Amino acid sequence: MKIALAQQNYHIGNFEYNRNKIIEGILWAKQKGADLVVFPELCICGYPPRDFLEFNDFINSCCSSIDEIKQFADTIGVIIGAPSRNKQKEGKELFNAAYLLYDKEIKAEIHKTLLPNYDIFDENRYFEPANEWNVISFKGKKLAITICEDIWNMGDNPLYRITPMEKLMLQQPDVMINVSASPFNVGQHIVRNSIVKAHTVKYKIPMLYCNAVGAQTEIIFDGGSLVYDGNGNKVFEMKYFEEDYQLFDISQFSKPETTTINSDTTYFYSTKEIAIKGNRLDYLTNEKNILEIRKALVLGIRDYFSKMKFSTALLGASGGIDSAVTQVLAAEALGKENVSAILMPSEFSTNHSVADATQLSINLECRHEIISITNIFDAILKELKPIFKDLPFDVTEENAQARIRGTILMAMANKFGSILLNTSNKSELATGYGTLYGDMAGGISVLGDLYKTQIYALAKLINSEKEIIPHSIITKAPSAELRHNQKDSDSLPEYSILDTILYEYIELRKSPNEIIAQGFENKLVSKILNLVNHNEYKRNQFCPILRVSNKSFGTGRRIPIVGKYLM
């Protein structure tokens, strides 16, 4: 049997676009002589549809798309993903389903069993789990079809009580097929390979795993669809961060052997396991991981703009490393002609910061404007003088500068129909080192899931072939430049220390005592964790963050604003 995998980029709720893309994939597979073509999870509507699933019209549109697509499933089998209605009165109204189309009919409907309800996933909110498991006979082969999470219940500590493949193996399938929408985070491709390999080693039949690609707001799907034979050997790994189509003849795969192959192989079932095994900073700033992050962020920016029908971006250029890296990524994603940098110096801005930001725009051939905020700042202070009287200069005046800049940036975004790119990093967001309605303004956060040490590593990668980011931006001490001689280190510890502690707490969920036991000072750990929890109210008002870690701020991390824990 020849099976094609169509790794595609969908748009949530854009039924005509998704439908036409799927039909194109079917026509490609027919032309290649495929017996069956497989598409990703919920490809009909895009993943994750979230509360769109509560609209009856949305589900009707899914059904209409299936009716149109099945007309192209005449001489070829087609596996697609879409929500389906639960015909029973009991349980939730929908299933997360995969459909087998053939002879212009729906030949089978498979329901997802394991509904993830952690991190960014919230499927248990909408879907009813499967209550029966059957292999599907097609052209002389018995197909064990599963949906994404259904194959992830492996390892020493299974999350669910049911393992769908154990149920399906009772019917002696010939091949496993998994339709998936598995998001990117650093190291996730290692975990996916481990999961798929472990299945083929255990069950001695091949697996074809079809993953989605493309960004949906903050969630980035990286593709990397996989094919393994029945001995745990990787047959093929499809492209990352772009669409791909491949055809496989499963009759050409090596025959299963009677003994377990590579029984000493280490399997990873979560990226948390990978992270725990190594040095934290080495893992965060590893060149291979940083290269993946760069590709993910470029895809995330490009899809956010194209799917929102925006074409131009602007950002506040401070002469610092965060805005510099953001500008480079935006120019790469959108084209240099579609990115504008706005320099807004004050009396506290150094000449080299203005010069560095200007030089970066020249290097990138991006438009840039210089708008001084000095007169606006002085006018505000003058108006507040009768109220503030002779109170000393403090964070109030610092934040006023940031909010002036935020106002200017949003005015320009409104006037020219652009999206403002936020340039805050994860280290700042974690500790509250940012101003609400000021430098925390923006339509999308590009670097909000990267620690400062990762941003330095990303800048180094960007400059690896030639100097794009001026060297002085990378080497100078980071500063918000909201008062004379200000440095980040005045308020925060060195980033190598800060980021390690933050990573232990945020990504690995370590307790204060566990972090202190690694050699960090008690008072420092207490201060940092207090800052993280105290500033949840700021992050709760922040824009969407492109997700590249296994625990990003936003929908995947739900912390009470008024909680007392560690405060």
Distance CA 283, CA 270 (A): 15
Tell whether the model's pLDDT for residue 457 goes beyond 90: yes
How deeply is 118 buried, as exposed, middle or buried, from its count of CB atoms within 10 A (0-12, 13-18, 19+)? Answer: exposed
Q: What pLDDT shows up at residue 481?
A: 67
User: What fold does the segment set 2-270 form as a domain?
Assistant: Nitrilase/N-carbamoyl-D-aminoacid amidohydrolase (3.60.110)
Q: What is the pTM of this model?
A: 0.95
- Beta carbons within 8 Å of 269's beta carbon, 6+ residues apart: 152, 154, 155, 191, 194, 195
Question: So what's the architecture of 285-488 in CATH?
Answer: 3-Layer(aba) Sandwich (3.40)
Report which of residues 488 and 142 the model is more confident about.
142
- For residue 340, what is the enclosing H or E element? strand 339-343
Banded model confidence at residue 157, pLDDT cuts 50, 70, 90: confident
Instruction: Encode pLDDT of 10-38 as tens digits.
Output: 999 999 999 999 999 999 999 999 999 99
Calpha distance 501→518 (Å, rounded) = 10
* Segment 307-332, tens digit of pLDDT: 999 999 999 999 999 999 999 999 99
Q: CB-hemisphere CA count at 13 Å for 238?
A: 25
CA 73 – CA 22 distance, rounded (Å): 11
pLDDT in tens, 129-154: 999 999 999 999 999 999 999 999 98
- Does position 194 have pLDDT exceeding 80, yes or no? yes
Per-residue pLDDT at 55: 98
The percent of residues in the chain predicted with pLDDT above 90, rounded, is 89
With cut-offs at 50, 70 and 90, classify the pLDDT of residue 567.
confident
Which pLDDT band holds residue 262 (cuts at 50, 70, 90)? low
Question: Structural domain boundaries of the chain?
Answer: 2-270, 285-488
- Distance from the Cα of residue 191 to its chain's centroid: 16
If pLDDT is split at 50, 70 and 90, which confidence band does 258 have? low
**pLDDT at position 199 over 70:** yes
**What is the rounded distance in angstroms from the CA atom of residue 287 to the CA atom of residue 521?**
29
Residues annotated as part of the active site: 41, 112, 148
The 10s digit of each residue's pLDDT in 332-359 is 999 999 999 999 998 887 778 899 999 9
Summarize the confidence of residues 396-420 as an average pLDDT: 97
